[in-house]
Amino acid sequence: MLKDKKILLGITGGIAAYKAVELASRLTSAGAAVKTIMTAHACEFIRPLTLKSITHQPVITAYFDQNADIEHISLADWADILVVAPATANIIGKTAGGIADDLLSTTLLAVKAPVLFVPSMNVHMYDNPLVKRNIEILSSLGYQFLEPTTGSLACGYQGKGRYPENQEIIFNLQTLLHYKKDLRDKKVLITAGATRENIDPMRFITNNSSGLMGLSLARAAYFRGAEVSLITAHTSLLIPYYLKNVTANSAEDMYHAVTDIADHFDLIFMTAAVSDYTPAQPSAQKIKKGQDMDLKLKRTRDILENLGNNKPTRQTLVGFAAESENIVANAREKLTRKKLDFIVANDISVSGKNDTTVNVLSSNNQKQMNGDKFLVAHQILDFILYG
């Protein structure tokens, strides 16, 4: 998704400037051409030579550099996208005020391509009403922001202001480069992960779902402008910090978590792998080792069928089916029986950890998709929105 894309990276004078080196490296490895503008203060934190050696592209640090062979706004015309990472309170304020007193701020005013700011600063700076106001002004004008994470800050404080994982910046850039904000004002509910059905306090029945497909859909929908709510069963993956998430351990927990709020959503993806069976009589105490034993199972409640039967007319309901045989036929039968708008049938015999092969079906259409799960997530959204 980044191959041959022209990415202009603006680095400003924040403590997280060193993390932009890894970002430049990953973008370059993914096949993008990365040119860098560093502010004078950024050069106090990291050396331009590091960026030049990694990107094999020009790194411009001075406004009036006679040797740079770059006209003052030519980089603005060159870029497919401009990402400022990390973005100081200063560069955000200057841009909001229309100030152009160095190469990066001038380029920010001249650029026509999308701009993504990755603010990173002390928690009190980020909370400052002036900084908040500047972010609001720029957001209302179409500039994009990836909010910082919460945690320990270099200044010794705890709070919101940390530079996020570079992978999250990359997901955001990939989306901005290829897709519109076509889910703006849509409320999207996504379930992800594998439920656990307790046999006793130590043991449970579960399945192989990693949760990555659901999280990929959640990221893709969020970066396309949706208001996303996640309900996660078990996953060992990190939940994207910018999403609302509640956890639901078992099929019964998931049933309540979903059905309690489903009415409020325009689009629902039931991606979680919910157990079809649960122990009929889970033991309150750990079961002692003894003779062979039979474990009696009972059916869990069918969440998807319940949603299909009670679906508001404006709602689009998408089910998932992990299949190992007769993939399309089984999925089509489930689509009709559960009154779904779409079903995504996942061929578990060929799908891997990061890549997947799916068939997406509606009542009158069908498409096969395969590849990286984040890319497939976007393709599923495209199919739902545009057929």
Rounded to whole angstroms, how far apart are CA atoms 104 and 93?
13
CB count in 10 Å sphere of residue 295: 12
Packing angle between helix 166-178 and helix 19-29, nearest 10 degrees? 50
Q: How far is the CB of 25 from ligand FMN (least distance, A)?
A: 21
Which CB sits closer to ligand FMN, 88 or 316?
88
Which CB sits closer to ligand FMN, 126 or 265?
126
| Torsional sign, CA 240, 243, 249, 254 | negative
Q: How far is the CB of 47 from ligand FMN (least distance, A)?
A: 15
Query: Tokens in use for 385?
Result: 């929105």
- Which H helix or E strand runs over 136? helix 129-140
Which CB sits closer to ligand FMN, 46 or 239?
46
Separation in Å, CA 29 to CA 56, 78, 96, 355, 375: 11, 20, 33, 19, 18
Please say whether the beta carbons of 120 and 86 come within 8 A. yes
Residue 193 lies near ligand FMN (rule: CB under 6 A) = no
Which CB sits closer to ligand FMN, 125 or 268?
125
Q: How far is the CB of 315 from ligand FMN (least distance, A)?
A: 42
Residue 240 lies near ligand FMN (rule: CB under 6 A) = no
Residue 39 lies near ligand FMN (rule: CB under 6 A) = yes
**Which one of residues 27, 42, 115, 123 is an interface residue with ligand FMN (CB under 6 A)?**
42
Rounded to whole angstroms, how far apart are CA atoms 301 and 309?
13
Size of the site for ligand FMN (CB under 6 A): 15
Q: How far is the CB of 150 from ligand FMN (least distance, A)?
A: 15
Residues 255-274 that bind ligand FMN (CB under 6 A): none
Residue recorded with tokens 């199919």: 383
Residue 48 lies near ligand FMN (rule: CB under 6 A) = no
What would the x/- binding string for ligand FMN be over residues 82 to 121, using CB under 6 A?
Answer: ------xxxx----------------------------xx
Which CB sits closer to ligand FMN, 156 or 290?
156
Residue 14 lies near ligand FMN (rule: CB under 6 A) = yes
Query: Tokens in use for 47?
Result: 């050396």
155 is catalytic: yes
Burial class (CB in 10 A: 0-12, 13-18, 19+), 242: middle
Rounded to whole angstroms, how far apart are CA atoms 369 and 383?
10
Residues 155-184 that bind ligand FMN (CB under 6 A): none
As a whole number of Å, the CA-based R_g of the chain is 24
Rounded to whole angstroms, how far apart are CA atoms 250 and 260?
15
Q: How far is the CB of 206 from ligand FMN (least distance, A)?
A: 42
Residues 122-141 that bind ligand FMN (CB under 6 A): 125
Residue type, 267: L
Which CB sits closer to ligand FMN, 39 or 315?
39
- Catalytic position from the list 109, 130, 141, 155: 155
> In DSSP terms, which residues pair with 278 in a beta bridge?
298
| Torsional sign, CA 335, 338, 343, 344 | negative
**Which one of residues 15, 30, 46, 239 is an interface residue with ligand FMN (CB under 6 A)?**
15
List the end-to-end C-alpha distance of the chain, in Å, as a whole number. 21
Q: How far is the CB of 167 from ligand FMN (least distance, A)?
A: 20
Q: Which residues would be at the binding site for ligand FMN (CB under 6 A)?
A: 12-16, 39, 41-42, 88-91, 120-121, 125
Q: Supply the residues annotated as catalytic.
A: 155
